[in-house]
Structure 1
Amino acid sequence: IYQAFWIYPYTPLASKEVERAESPDQDNKISILSSNVFMPNENYHKLLSHVKDTQPDFLVTLESNKRWQNALAELNSDYPYQKHCPLENLYGMNLYSKVPLDTVELHYFVEDDVPSFKVTFTKNNSTVTIFFLHPKPPSPTENKRAKPRDIELDLVGNMVCDYEEPVIVAGDLNDVAWSPTTRKFRKVSGLLDPRIGRGFYNTFHAHYPLIKWPLDHLFHSSHFSLVDIRKLGDIGSDHYPLLTTLQLKE
């Protein structure tokens, strides 16, 4: 019963937290494809196929190493604005953007081997900020305690809570949407979850039918309405890609 209370908002029975864009406007749309590629995975063509089919404005690949960066080099002409931090520790991150970026920052908010990106760009005279995150999970094989992940979410939540212009936080947070840590992040940051009232959008585990969790997220400020959110098909990773399209309100 206790768990049902927390997961109920992520069912279609609950009220939607983010309104649907009534008349999608191409000039105001922002689409973000977030994909934890699983570093040993070599099915590059599957992710490339999704990118070609959906044409997102932003692609962020998590668990990216130099091999993945080289394999996605064919995107360079369509996505000329990039930031790369390839690593061999399962926490590399590569960003590809069709949109000209005003600023691109590489941060190590908590741990010196876990990068995050912060980018800004201009959309209809507004400065939009996006944080891309991938904190370590509290698992016996990786981080033995949740504290660094929780600190990172607290830090970013406190950073964005005072933003007056549009802001988005996206990535693999290694946590479910209804956990105490993520609920605290949403409360502190004031950001909205477009999945509320729509569904779980479970992105992990891609290969175990009976074990599914929504570990990949996108939260945003009230400046946006939702055009579409969907989980894309298997790319050979243990995560499914998550594609979210928002519309900046007039």
Structure 2
Amino acid sequence: MEILVLKILISFFIAFTWIPLIKLDCWWVRVFDYPRFQKLSVFATLMIFWMLLGREDAGFWYWTAGIFASMSYLVFLVWPYSILGKKMVQKEPYDPEKGIHLIVGNVFQYNREFEKTLNLIQIKDPDLVFLVETDQTWADALTPLHLTFEHRILLPLENTYGLVLYSKLPFKRQQIHYLINEEIPSLEIDVELRNGQLITIYAIHPAPPVPGESLSSTERDAEILVVGKKSKGNPQPSLVIGDLNDVAWSYTTSLFLKISEMADPRRGRGFYNTFHAKYPFFRWPLDHVFLSKHFGLSKIHVLKSIGSDHFPIELKATLAKQKSTDREKASPEEKKEANEKISNGKKEKS
């Protein structure tokens, strides 16, 4: 009986491991992109029990091979985000004249612990703050920030897709987009650094592929890739920030990095999990700051809880003298696939 239960568990987790390779946008496929490290941890436990209890089983080596192959694949996926992986962005000492210090966070619309967010921002004193899931109550509660942040964009909404952006650095251009869904805004802003250099910030929060939000990842993937193409075509230094509702190691985010030729500063440094704040075992990196080749990384840190289901993330980036060339580039086939995903996302909403 113990062996049978063990085999059932192993079968399930082998299936959960390889299902994400299916290139379908269905939520029940894409949701398995998220818990890669968790699946690896479960497999390590199952391997121990299998080695202890399954040795007399006739198919012992077949089951062992299945576990080992799945574990190896998961290690391959998460390895770049361990401290042993290769860094995509090199370290650069922070220079406030040619750098930017920002905080990105999902406040969780129904969270009412406003003081935690206000106190955190006051203590950290960033140049720019981008917050999502901000309804009108949140916008009102954050009014004290107006004293410190002269430049701001406030788009409170009651549908969990409201957003606010506060900046001490002046805006030289600002656009509000509804890239795929007319109910989900995003921002494109040119910000002037203290040395006069203009940089572009793309701030987004696409819908997650979960029941109650969207039954597929089509819209999310399309919005992420549209922004990736915008950044690639922009000669200015740029950042893409926000809760992307996608994990760093998913196929879509990997495709985004190739299309945009941006870099993930977490590579070679750690997971920097921001969700779920309430459940330590079920955490993965949903909130992102991607950097163009012009930047070096001065600091990245997941901040303490603000009462939300997400932790905020803090980053300092500085324009580097030598542009980084360690970027992944899309093949012609991948560019075609990205265009098809964008087209499908627009068709689904039209």
Range into which the TM-score falls when normalised by the shorter chain: over 0.9
TM-score (ref. length: structure 1): 0.97
Structure exhibiting the larger radius of gyration computed from Cα positions: 2
Distance between the aligned counterparts of 2:144 and 2:295, measured in 1? Answer: 31
Q: Does 1:51 align with 2:51?
A: no
Aligned partner of 1:221 in structure 2 is 292
Aligned partner of 1:103 in structure 2 is 173
> What does 1:19-58 align with in structure 2 at a 5 Å threshold?
19-21=90-92, 23-58=93-128
Aligned partner of 1:118 in structure 2 is 188
SS class of match (1:165): coil
Aligned partner of 1:181 in structure 2 is 252
SS class of match (2:147): coil
Aligned partner of 1:64 in structure 2 is 134
Distance between the aligned counterparts of 1:67 and 1:248, measured in 2? Answer: 36
Quote how far apart the aligned CAs of 1:14 are: 1.1
> What does 1:1-250 align with in structure 2 at a 5 Å threshold?
1-21=72-92, 23-123=93-193, 124-250=195-321
Structure number with the bigger relative contact order (C-alpha 8 A, sep ≥ 6) is 1
The runs of 4+ residues in structure 1 deviating greater than 3 Å are none
Distance between the aligned counterparts of 1:24 and 1:79, measured in 2? Answer: 21
Distance between the aligned counterparts of 2:133 and 2:281, measured in 1? Answer: 24
SS class of match (1:56): coil
Quote how far apart the aligned CAs of 1:125 are: 4.0
SS class of match (1:89): coil
Quote how far apart the aligned CAs of 1:163 are: 1.9
Quote how far apart the aligned CAs of 1:24 are: 2.5
Unaligned residue ranges in structure 2 (runs of 5+): 1-71, 322-350
Distance between the aligned counterparts of 1:108 and 1:26, measured in 2? Answer: 32
Distance between the aligned counterparts of 2:261 and 2:134, measured in 1? Answer: 30
Distance between the aligned counterparts of 2:197 and 2:272, measured in 1? Answer: 29
Bigger mean CA deviation after superposition, 2-11 or 223-232 = 2-11
Sequence identity (%): 41
CA deviations 1:34-69 (Å, max 9, x no partner) are 110000001111111110111111111100011001
Quote how far apart the aligned CAs of 1:141 are: 2.0
CA deviations 1:66-118 (Å, max 9, x no partner) are 10011010010110101011000100001111111101111100001111011
More helix by share: 2
SS class of match (2:192): strand
What letter corresponds to residue 210 of structure 1 in structure 2? F
Q: Contact 2:94–2:317 at 8 Å: present in 1 too?
A: no
More strand by share: 1
Distance between the aligned counterparts of 1:222 and 1:94, measured in 2? Answer: 27
